[in-house]
Structure 1
Amino acid sequence: MNTEPPFVAVLGAGPAGLMAAETIATAGHAVRVYERMPSPARKFLMAGRGGLNLTHSEPLEAFLPRYAGAEAALAAAICAFPPDALVGWAEALGQEVFTGSSGRIFPRALKASPLLRAWLARLDAQGVRLLLRHEWRGFTPDGALRLGTPEGEQLHRPAATVLAMGGASWPRLGSDGRWAAQLSGVAMQPFQPSNMGFRLTWSAIFRTKFEGTPLKRIALTFAGRTVRGEAIVTAQGIEGGAVYALSAPLRDAIAAHGHATLLLDLRPDLDAATLAPKLDEPRRGQSLSTFLRKAAGLPPVAIGLVQEALHAGATAPLPALIKALPLRLEAPQGLDRAISSAGGIALGELDNHFMLRSRPGLFACGEMLDWEAPTGGYLLQACFATGRTAGLGVAEWLAGQPVPPPG
């Protein structure tokens, strides 16, 4: 016999799951959060190592298109819990925020741990139970949750369930996408890396000399879009913020054509016409490296890239090469190194509260859903917003449902 009092189960203790739990508890329902890892919000804490970019300050008319094909499905949730609301929520937890020069919004502490501690304390005060090392293993034929625990498998029968187990990036932190196998009959899009670097072939000399070297104040162009920022040379290729901003179309182009050519502007502050007279001067015995450093103001890594292109057979004049140096990308980095993932539960499977249309009482939110966005605060904003919308949906659904009797 099931003698448990009615409760709502949230599977996953990341930002989306915890926000769903808070919203449901605020509506007066008992909530249990099940997390398969030994501690909650591991990927959230990892994001905090880079300063914890919570959201972005740009207006919603510019913010929402960042979600590309998923904009229509996410817009209502984000408009109901926009960046200003997320800022107010963080500050109510005692975490002052500030807006950086790029428009990105960060907690003043520049890390996730103080916010998470305050949040967990609030949830505890609301009566939310957090159960660690509880791994979801699917449903029984009668709809109970099967949970693997240190004490063995357990069955739990919540009044409603929110799935918030993340996507498939950085699997060592807990989100490995294995949950998809437990949702037979639910349409899925395959997981793909998002906001990731790319592989390309460097010469052994260049790789040895410049692995780990940043490329600062550059611009990257692909498919008519140009992004200014920074990147970093890796042993296998290139990664960094400017690369991530173009990663989705680059990934799709590689899938379609086997490679993609990214154009690198090493001096975006100067046009080719300005560079040309400087580079038309005679070298007077200078090596190419010395000449490029003095005439074009290029740092060593940029000079190395020009030399790589020339050795590969580039024939463009030096000014044109410096302004549009081609990088032939061969493959995206895998999900194990990607910041986020595309793919997951198809958005058409869900109603406007992110309840699965085919399974009343079962909701999903966060990176489990098939959407992607660039870095810059858009990822966390959508996780928080969809978690809140799913939580409101649970409360609304329970209000119209009879409480199941024990048994």
Structure 2
Amino acid sequence: MSSQSTSETVAIIGGGPAGLRAAELISAAGISCVLYDSMPSVGRKFLVAGKSGLNLTKDEDLDTFISYYGGSHNGQFDLQRWASIIKEFDNKMIREWAEGLGITTFTANSGKVFPEAMKAAPLLRRWVHKLREQGVNFRMRHKLASIAPAEKEQGYKLTFTSPLDERTSYNHRYVVLAMGGASWPQTGSDGAWRDILDQQQVCYQTLQADNCGWMHPWNDEFLKIAEGKPLKNIHLSCGDQKVTGEVMITKYGLEGSAIYQIGRTLRSLPKAYIEIDLKPTFTHDQLVAKMGGKQHGLLREAKYRWKLSPQAMALIKHQYKHTNDVNLLATQIKACRIDLDSPRPIDEVISTSGGICWSELNEQLMLNKLPGIFACGEMIDWEAPTGGYLMQGCFASGTRVGKSIIQMSAEE
């Protein structure tokens, strides 16, 4: 194993948006830094997230925007502190930042903000080029193995492994941990940092699947009609939470934006379930009135009088026995209950909940037990639904860390 003392001041571990943003600010301030990543190139998960259109943020009132964030139920998520982090680099600033790279953005009808080209690759190329021009040193295929105090100078000795399991160590004054959660491990975001934090006795909440589908056993008859089709313009309830959106019926269960929004509530229940209002624009009594006093063939009549999609009809048939009671059928349409088994496996989900506990971090996102080591991005215990909130959280927390190191470096 080789060991080197290096002149670079800051080590950034992880080349996702949080780590890249921290590197951008630190290097712009003239502070030398090295960005390490276990993969052959940076931004792998960033590119995957942009395959269907890179959703940078959402254009909405900032207080409403911040309300979508949360954390583990027992993780003492600090919404006030998180709000201050988002406000430091908010949903307007990120658009200005993209414009600074020559990337024009637009707001879709949903309020989601995308680059005009939709793709992530052009933005990432310009971003990395800027970082190289600012002097950031990229060391790829370096996977962090351990952290220890530096022997003869301030800071830390970081040991990395290469693909051939060779070990190399470098000393750095400051360290930024930005290694992501545990979803899409093929991009390098595998949650292996938990073993390193265990060695340092740093507390973290268990990583769990978030922004993911949930499993429910459908029968073959239902899947022939409904698999791969959406339930649109629905209200979905779970406990005290109600959201608007759509869900996609899949072979294993349900997927989609409405399910993602209530993931935290679903995980908190002893038995996960949802109730779907298939006709939210009509009351129960209005639906009954639309049946015009019909008493027979109610499902056939409901299809036309209530304008139900084939998949909605199939869902009612799957969940309930046929009935000639119009009041009961209207109740089922307004609150179709589906018991859910479990979320999809963590390695195939969009993001994970859990991470470093807020009690382990100060206002600068520095670890209390390891002065000079900071954390940002999905490594910290915060979560949000898809729709631009995840990306914004990574950029904003990377901004807080970058500014914190700049300030601490200037004070030394």
Could you tell me the TM-score, scaled by structure 2's length? 0.91
| 2:90 alignment partner, one of 72, 82, 101 | 82
Identify the match of residue 173 of structure 2 among 134, 146, 159.
159
Tell me the equivalent position of 2:25: 23
SS of equivalent residue, structure 1 residue 145: strand
Return the alpha-carbon distance in structure 2 between the equivalents of residues 310 and 206 of structure 1. Answer: 12
Tell me which amino acid in the other structure corresponds to 1:397. M
Larger deviation, residues 383-392 vs 313-322: 313-322
CA shift for structure 1 position 396: 1.8
Q: How far off its partner does 1:356 sit? A: 0.7
Aligned match for 1:114, one of 112, 122, 139: 122
Cα distance between partner residues in 2 of 1:282 and 1:215: 26
Displacement of 1:295? 2.0
**Deviation string for 1:57-92 (max 9, x for gaps)?**
222222222223442231222111111111100111
Identity of aligned residues (%): 40
CA deviations on 1:310-337 (whole Å, 9 max, x unpaired) are 2499987111111111111121222123
Q: Which residue of 2 aligns with 1:53?
A: 55
Say whether the 8 Å CA contact 2:228–2:248 is kept in structure 1. yes
Q: Deviations over 1:227-277 (max 9, x none)?
A: 121110111110100111111101111xxx2x2231111122222222112
> What letter corresponds to residue 390 of structure 1 in structure 2?
V
Q: In the alignment, what sits opposite 1:329?
A: 340
Alignment of 1:39-188 (within 5 A): 39-68=41-70, 69-140=77-148, 142=150, 143-150=156-163, 152-183=166-197, 184=199, 185-188=201-204
In 2, the alpha carbon distance for the partners of 1:312 and 1:167 equals 45
Aligned to 1:73, the other structure's residue is in SS state helix
Work out the CA distance in 2 between the residues paired with 1:164 and 1:269.
Answer: 44
Counterpart residue number, 2:253: 237
- Partner Cα separation in structure 2 for residue 104 and residue 124 of structure 1: 30
1:5-59: CA deviations, max 9, x gaps? 2331100000000001001101111111111012211111111123211112222
Summarize deviations over 1:88-141 as a string: whole Å, max 9, x none.
001111111111222221111112111111101111111112221111101246
Offset at 1:178? 0.9
Query: How many Å separate the matches in 1 of 2:41 and 2:284?
Result: 53
Q: Distance in 2 between matches of 1:44 and 1:14?
A: 6
Counterpart CA distance in 2 for 1:172 and 1:95 is 28
Q: Is contact 2:5–2:171 with CA below 8 Å preserved after alignment?
A: no
Which letter does structure 2 place at the counterpart of 1:169?
S
Deviations 1:275-301 (A, max 9, x none): 1123354377x6x65433212211110
Query: How many residue pairs end up in the alignment?
Result: 395
Kindly report the root-mean-square deviation, in angstroms, between the aligned alpha carbons of the 2 structures. Answer: 2.0
Equivalent residue, structure 2, for 1:317: 328
Partner of 2:392: 381
Q: C-alpha separation between the residues in 2 aligned to 1:338 and 1:12?
A: 19
Question: Superposition pairs for residues 8-19 of structure 1, below 5 Å?
Answer: 8-19=10-21
Per the normalisation by structure 1, the TM-score is 0.92
User: Which whole-Å CA distance do the structure 1 matches of 2:136 and 2:181 have between them?
Assistant: 24
Matched, 1:358 2:369: yes
Q: Structure 2 counterpart of 1:168, which letter?
A: A
Q: Which runs of 5+ in 1 are unaligned?
A: 402-407
Tell me, in whole angstroms, the C-alpha distance in 2 between the residues paired with 1:73 and 1:13: 25
1:55/1:380 contact within 8 Å kept: yes
Alpha-carbon contact 1:279-1:319 (below 8 Å) kept: no
Q: Cα–Cα, structure 1 residues 301 and 139, in superposed 2: closer, same or farther, change >3 Å?
A: same
What residue number does 1:370 align with? 381
Structure 1 contact 73–347 (Cα < 8 Å) conserved: no
Runs of 4+ in 1 over 4 A off after TM superposition: 312-316
CA contact (8 A) 2:295 2:324 kept: no
Q: Distance in 1 between matches of 2:260 and 2:181?
A: 17
> Hey, what's the Cα distance between the residues in 2 that align with 1:260 and 1:366?
28
Q: For residues 401 and 67 of structure 2, what CA distance do their matches in structure 1 show?
A: 22
Which of 296, 306, 330 lines up with 1:296 in the alignment? 306
Instruction: Quote the residue 2:215 is aligned against.
Output: 199
Matched AA of 1:29: I
